Structure 1
Amino acid sequence: MVNGAFFIQVGIIIIFFLNPETLNSTSQYLYTDSLSQSVQEATIGFRLIGVGIANFGGGIIFGLYLLSLTAFMVHDKQRINFTFTLWWLLVALISFLIARSSLVAIFLSLLYILLKGRREFIKFISQLILVIFIFLLLVMSTTDVSALLDSDIIRWGFEFLFSYFEAGEATTASTEHLLTMYILPDNHLTYIFGDGRFFDPVKGEYYMNTDVGYLRLIFYVGIIGMITFIQFVWTITTGICLPKSFLSKIPYYFFIFLIISNLKGFVDATQFFGIFLAFVYMKRVGAIAWQK
């Protein structure tokens, strides 16, 4: 069911990418608040966008799905085949072109496969190289490569490479902007208890104009609240670990991904975890019923 939902989402993303007019005509219905809509509209043309999937948050959702897909694939070694590898690459590419921060999930996915077994990793990488080779051949034979490399979406996705070869420094505009958002509180009470604000109601933007996840939590509920939030996420993480299933280890990778991602923006993926909580609950209830 989850795979089907993401399959549909991938189809919508591709349609929006190939036909921007469809995206423009539906953008007003995809978001309920003006801030999200304005951010989404500003990224049309150089980021992939889906239904409720855009920017940093969309990258998080696809990154978590990529990790789930990896665990599901590796759990049954027979699934490490051409079809699964092709789907993995497509999801990884889309997540990257939604938000470059999803690179963390891609690296964690590869690490997960590597730690699961050297043989599985070599098999997967071999198939991945083959899929990438075929994909590049198709692109080169059907597309103007020079125009593609000069397109907004490619230049944005690989901005750090273009920056390195053109300016001698591997950096991105968003990274430089992110560094300006590391704004610390100016009093002890805010550090401890926060200011109780997540958004600035007057300016209609993030409070203190920072997008950094940990800083937003500190300004909102202080360090105490931030630690409580992290503990809450950790509790859910351990709660969805199910021995002898594809959920035996991958939740810890979820947690690492979320912890790192909060250095960039605020991430609350408890809704995503709810799917696995339901799965674990049904498995455990089924096991209890079987024992009775």
Structure 2
Amino acid sequence: MLQFIKQLVVAIALSFYLFSIGFPFLPAGVNTKMMLAILGVIFLVFEWLNTKKITVSWEMLGATGFAIIFSLICYFTTDFNHTSDYSYANYFVTFFVWLGGAYAVCTIMRATHGTANLRLLTFYAAAVCFGQCIIALIIDRIPAFQKFVDSLIEQGQDFDRKIGRLYGIGASLDSAGIRFALILLLIAAVLSKDQQVRASRKTTVLLLIAFFTIAVVGDMIARTTGVGFGLAIVYFMLNIGFLQFVIKKEHFKFYAIFGGMLLLTVAASVYLYNTDVNFHSDMRFAFEGFFNWSEHGEFKTSSTDKLNDVMWIWPSDLKTWIIGTGRFGHFIFSTDIGYCRFILYCGLVGFSVFALFFVYNAIVFAIKYKMYRDLFLLLLIYSFIIWVKVSTDIFFLYALLYCMDMERYQKYHRRKLT
């Protein structure tokens, strides 16, 4: 029982990290991510008091350098353009908040399991995202529960209700979709490469239940989930012999379980689509492109039409192309597209550094986790894909990996800087 409570605390901490929320009794802007960051600093101080040192990897110092340089460029562009929009001039603060929160989560995980690694992160993240999907369905279908959640948590849910979108506890819109997408990739990677996971039928089944639930319900919450699902399927195809004509013996059990879960998911989805009004409308939204393709012969969605028609807005002069306008917030250029917003804000100079930051992170962990090199390649591809839709990033995942990396350095005493 005690171990279960500890595991529940890890899951809650990770949920508060990935899907941060505020509370009505706290000042506006204070959320669980910030609380975890403060907790992470406290843990770090205790670590320093116990060991008399703080160990930081050279790779993390490199990432810190990128974050600071990008922030300085953004600060320069705001100063040069005489604006006070420091949306990304303060990125180094966001960087350290994510690191602090990640350190707290990893410390709690290590206290429960004795270690914090990619496998454990995938297990907990899959459970958290699965739970968010179930909670979103319950909120959508039980008004009393929705009222209860909304009274306790502040997460901008008024907008979600206004546009008729599903939401969980901190999980809504593209922010949730990006997290769902990344977790689908992690699940695909662990199922494909981790022999300890593949050897357990129970673990495989549970991960695939989470995988297909997140793929379907997550897409109802935000269609950015679908990109991650597509990349996860590509990962499976490349690593488990889907493209081969001969089924290897070691893959046969996984094929059987995967195929069975896929059939069950399709059957359940078709049944609910035809019998449940809410599920019907949610499916129409989630897979709008496929429905338009099957019914009208054209793969398109209302959001992509809007993006293509009115949101590709580029600089109109050379100065803006180079250093930007220093304006980002308040939807000032009437576009959601990440590429446009970044370049309009800090120009190609700032955007190039920001893009290289994620190339750097992907390379660092592709080297660290040689078995998962293709995972980090797909994470890098996803980083560039999402900027077609929104102006956000996936450093929150790398922050967790950097903190796990620090623990490995402390344990094995490899290339450390004190």
| Shared fold (TM-score, shorter chain, > 0.5) | yes
In the alignment, which residue of structure 2 is the partner of 1:203? none
In the alignment, which residue of structure 2 is the partner of 1:42? 162
Label 1:75 to 1:285 Cα distance change in 2 as closer, same or farther (>3 A): farther
Give the length in aligned residue pairs: 278
Of all paired residues, the percent bearing the same amino acid is 23
1:103-157, CA deviations, whole angstroms, 9 ceiling, x for partnerless residues?
A: 221122122223224147765454222112234455667x572545972201111
TM-score where L is the length of structure 1: 0.82
In the alignment, which residue of structure 2 is the partner of 1:59? 177
In the alignment, which residue of structure 2 is the partner of 1:23? 146
Using the TM superposition, give the Cα deviation of residue 98 of structure 1 relative to its aligned residue in structure 2, in angstroms.
Answer: 2.2
Label 1:149 to 1:188 Cα distance change in 2 as closer, same or farther (>3 A): same
Q: How far, CA to CA, are the matches of 2:170 and 2:394 in structure 1? A: 14
Label 1:150 to 1:137 Cα distance change in 2 as closer, same or farther (>3 A): closer
Aligned partners of 1:195 and 1:222 also within 8 Å: yes
Of the three residues 347, 362, 366, the one matched with 1:237 is 362
CA-based RMSD of the aligned residues comes to 2.9
| 2:338 matches 1:209 | no
Of residues 172-181 and 66-75 in structure 1, the stretch that sits farther from structure 2 once superposed is: 66-75
Of residues 107-116 and 177-186 in structure 1, the stretch that sits farther from structure 2 once superposed is: 107-116
| 2:307 matches 1:178 | yes
Q: How far, CA to CA, are the matches of 1:71 and 1:235 in structure 2? A: 20
Of the three residues 120, 132, 139, the one matched with 2:262 is 132
In the alignment, which residue of structure 2 is the partner of 1:274? 399
1:85 maps to amino acid:
L
Using the TM superposition, give the Cα deviation of residue 56 of structure 1 relative to its aligned residue in structure 2, in angstroms.
Answer: 1.3
1:229-263, CA deviations, whole angstroms, 9 ceiling, x for partnerless residues?
A: 00111122222335456544422211111111111
Of residues 273-282 and 144-153 in structure 1, the stretch that sits farther from structure 2 once superposed is: 144-153
1:120-199, aligned counterparts within 5 Å?
124-138=254-268, 143=272, 145-148=274-277, 151-179=280-308, 180-199=310-329
1:199-232, CA deviations, whole angstroms, 9 ceiling, x for partnerless residues?
A: 13xxxxx220100011010111001111010011
Using the TM superposition, give the Cα deviation of residue 158 of structure 1 relative to its aligned residue in structure 2, in angstroms.
Answer: 1.9
Using the TM superposition, give the Cα deviation of residue 101 of structure 1 relative to its aligned residue in structure 2, in angstroms.
Answer: 2.5
Identify which of structures 1 and 2 has the higher relative contact order when contacts are C-alpha pairs closer than 8 Å and 6+ apart.
2
TM-score where L is the length of structure 2: 0.59
Of residues 235-244 and 153-162 in structure 1, the stretch that sits farther from structure 2 once superposed is: 235-244
Q: Which has the larger radius of gyration?
A: 2
Q: How far, CA to CA, are the matches of 1:161 and 1:235 in structure 2? A: 35
Label 1:170 to 1:250 Cα distance change in 2 as closer, same or farther (>3 A): closer
SS of equivalent residue, structure 2 residue 313: coil
1:80-159, aligned counterparts within 5 Å?
80=198, 81-118=204-241, 119=248, 124-138=254-268, 143=272, 145-148=274-277, 151-159=280-288
In the alignment, which residue of structure 1 is the partner of 2:387? 262
Of residues 118-127 and 95-104 in structure 1, the stretch that sits farther from structure 2 once superposed is: 118-127
Q: How far, CA to CA, are the matches of 1:150 and 1:15 in structure 2? A: 14
1:46-71, CA deviations, whole angstroms, 9 ceiling, x for partnerless residues?
A: x4322222111111111111112222
1:30 maps to amino acid:
E
2:191 maps to amino acid:
M
- Runs of 5+ consecutive residues of structure 1 not aligned to the other structure: 201-205
